[in-house]
Amino acid sequence: MSYSLLIDGRKVQGVGRIDVIDPSTGSVFDSAPRADEALALEAIAASSKAGKLWAALGYAGRRVYLHDFATAIESRTEEMAAVLNRERGGPLAECRREVAITVAALRHFADQSLASRVVRESDVERIIEQHYPQGVVAAIMPWNRPITLLSFKLGPALITGNTVIAKPAPTTPLSTLLIGEIAADVLPAGVFQTLADQNDLGALLTRHPSVAHVSFTGSTATGKKVLAGAADSLKRFTLELGGNDVAIILDDADLESVIPKIFQAAMINAGQVCYATKRVYAPRPMLDRVVELLADQAKGARLGNGLDPAHQIGPLQNRMQFEKVLTLIEVTRKEGTIVVGGDVVEGGGYFITPAIVRDLSDDAQLVREEQFGPILPVLGYDDLDSVVDRANASEYGLGGSIWTADVKRGIDIASRIESGTVWVNRHMSLPFDVAFGGAKESGMGLQNGVQGMEDFTQRRIVNVALD
């Protein structure tokens, strides 16, 4: 299939091509057009121009467009899921779920609005709080969940009256370009545009004075560059960055029911999810059993191309990440005991068997850093105070989970974890009406929920004297 960029309502072939690799085979399977600086500037100008009309439509007008957009994406679910399976890898059912979440997010936000609010009213004055759109939003995306993560920006930003330029990661451009091609038929020109690049346009979007808001999801290291770039023109920004989420198992947990859920939370998308469980802490007397049950899960997991419904775990998404995880595995072999997994599956794709690791110190690289791959450390703890301290001894603070038979105890411990979201007896539930965001170096700003919409608006106070 031939893909296009979407710029000012036109399907554009760009200035060159980027090879797109299927991580299940390690071979090029397609290519994407790429934009250069001139096309990016054209998109920014078109986005500014479209903003006036889009904002003037009001919530009622924009709602209709967003519902049409969601329905048009839904009608191409199979095509979209197939593209996701090829470019990002993973089970086809998970790819279909990614499309379904994208559609549901757009529908949810299509039905929202931010009403003006009278803050104070008396005989002598009336003070009203309003929200107006910020303008051009640059949505800069990672490769692990290309379109779901985009929909968490697109829905709230568009319904509140902003226009959006999406820049996918260079290794997963196709699903975003497809969303753009669908948008070409349903949205007014310039309201949504797509710019694929070879990792060279992010900085321009981050610094350009006509971009009002940079909504970035990606690594903490790049997030810091975005923050520096946005400073020059005091842009609004959202940073959704890396994590090192804990799963803390309490001594009353029913391991037989809890362990499969923790394994799933750690190995979903081969561990390449910001909110994946990245460290497991178990009471010392339960450590052997926890390791044994997690290892059983790892041994039973079926790895391979997601086109086969029997396969539950897909590949690492790109060669760079594959090599990074392999290097981490080599370091981990010296620092602890890999009980199971950590092996490359021969055959060309970027598959690594899920690994369970024990006997690591808190200083081990796998404990301190975000692995973003299928390798999970399990650590013992002696008392709850110390495990809370160890959970919090991280520069990250994205999510985390507590596993217990006693919900009250779970909430008590959750309330001591320094992160944006803490789940009890579940992991990674992200309802659209609940805001999420990272503490510490996991991010700034919020997505989803009312606050996620507010973050794409400027608050205006209208202060009236009546006397």
Residue 137 binds to ligand NAD (criterion: CB under 6 A):
no
State the nearest-atom distance from the C-beta of 423 to ligand NAD, in Å. Answer: 15
Q: Which residues pair with 279 in a beta bridge?
A: 246
Smallest separation (angstroms) from ligand NAD to the CB of 244: 9
| Residue among 370 and 455 whose Cβ is closer to ligand NAD | 370
Residue 398 is a binding residue for ligand NAD (CB under 6 A): yes
Q: Which of 174, 160, 181, 148 is nearest to 69 (CA)?
A: 181
Binds ligand NAD by CB under 6 A, chosen from 175, 176, 206, 305: 206
CA–CA gap between residue 266 and residue 261 (Å, rounded):
9
Q: Which of 12, 169, 195, 387 binds ligand NAD (CB under 6 A)?
A: 169
Which residue lies nearer to ligand NAD by CB, 271 or 410? 271
Taking the least distance from each CB to ligand NAD, the nearer of 404 and 419 is: 419
Of residues 243, 284, 282, 158, the one with CA closest to residue 422:
243
Q: How far apart are CA 436 and CA 35, in angstroms?
A: 32
Q: Which of 87, 181, 240, 370 is catalytic?
A: 240
Of residues 271, 258, 297, the one with CA closest to residue 425: 258
Helices marked H in 232-364 = 255-267, 287-300, 319-335
Q: Which of 251, 240, 243 minimizes the C-alpha distance to 281?
A: 251
- From the list 69-77, 124-132, 142-150, 301-309, the region that binds ligand NAD by CB under 6 A is 142-150
151 binds ligand NAD (CB under 6 A): no
The answer to whether residue 372 forms part of the interface with ligand NAD (CB under 6 A) is yes
Q: Which of 75, 199, 257, 463 binds ligand NAD (CB under 6 A)?
A: 199
Q: Are 460 and 130 in contact (CB under 8 A)?
A: yes
- Catalytic site includes residue 95: no
Q: Are 135 and 51 in contact (CB under 8 A)?
A: yes
11, 49, 225, 368: which one contacts ligand NAD (CB under 6 A)? 225
Sheet holding 192-194, edge to edge: 10-12, 5-7, 192-194, 163-167, 136-140, 211-217, 236-240, 443-444
Q: Which of 83, 84, 101, 149 binds ligand NAD (CB under 6 A)?
A: 149
Residue closer to ligand NAD, measured from CB, 134 or 222: 222
Give whichever of 176 and 404 is closer to ligand NAD, judged by the CB atom.
176
User: Across the strands, what pairs with 394?
Assistant: none
For residue 78, indicate whether it is catalytic.
no
Instruction: Using DSSP, state whether 389 is helix, strand or coil.
Output: helix
The distance of closest approach from Cβ of residue 279 to ligand NAD in the complex, given in angstroms and rounded to an integer, is 14
Provide the strand spans (E) within 99-241: 117-121, 125-133, 136-140, 163-167, 192-194, 211-217, 236-240
Which residue is nearest to ligand NAD, using beta carbons? 202
Is 241 near ligand NAD (CB under 6 A)? Answer: yes
Residue 427's CB is within 10 A of a number of other CB atoms, namely: 24
| Sole binder of ligand NAD in the list 217, 238, 371, 421 (CB under 6 A) | 217
Cα 332 from Cα 266, distance rounded (Å)? 17
Q: Is 40 near ligand NAD (CB under 6 A)?
A: no
Tokens of 165: 């330029």
Task: State yes or no: residue 222 binds ligand NAD (CB under 6 A).
Answer: yes
Contact flags string 90-129 toward ligand NAD, x per CB under 6 A: ----------------------------------------
- For the stretch 221-225, contacts whose Cβ atoms lie closer than 8 Å and that sit 24 or more positions apart, written own/partner, are 223/443
Classify burial at 373, counting beta carbons within 10 Å of its beta carbon; exposed 0-12, middle 13-18, buried 19 or more.
buried
CB of 103 to ligand NAD, least distance (A): 19
Single out the residue of 141, 293, 366, 402 in contact with ligand NAD (rule: CB under 6 A): 141
399 binding ligand NAD? (CB under 6 A): no
Helices 58-74 and 77-87 pack at an angle, to 10 degrees, of: 70
Which of 140, 249, 259, 328 forms a contact with ligand NAD (CB under 6 A)? 140
Are the C-beta atoms of residues 349 and 25 closer than 8 Å to each other?
yes
Q: Per CB under 6 A, which of residues 418..457 are in contact with ligand NAD?
A: 438, 443
Matching residue, tokens 């399907």: 11
- C-beta closer to ligand NAD: residue 241 or 366: 241
Q: What are 234's two structure tokens?
A: 């005091």
The token duo for 433 is 């009406």
Residue 226 near ligand NAD by CB under 6 A: yes
What string marks each residue from 242 to 261 as x (binds ligand NAD by CB under 6 A) or -?
A: xx------------------
Residues that bind ligand NAD (CB under 6 A): 140-144, 149, 167, 169-170, 199, 202-203, 206, 217-219, 222, 225-226, 240-243, 274, 370, 372, 398, 438, 443
Which residues participate in catalysis according to the annotation? 240, 274
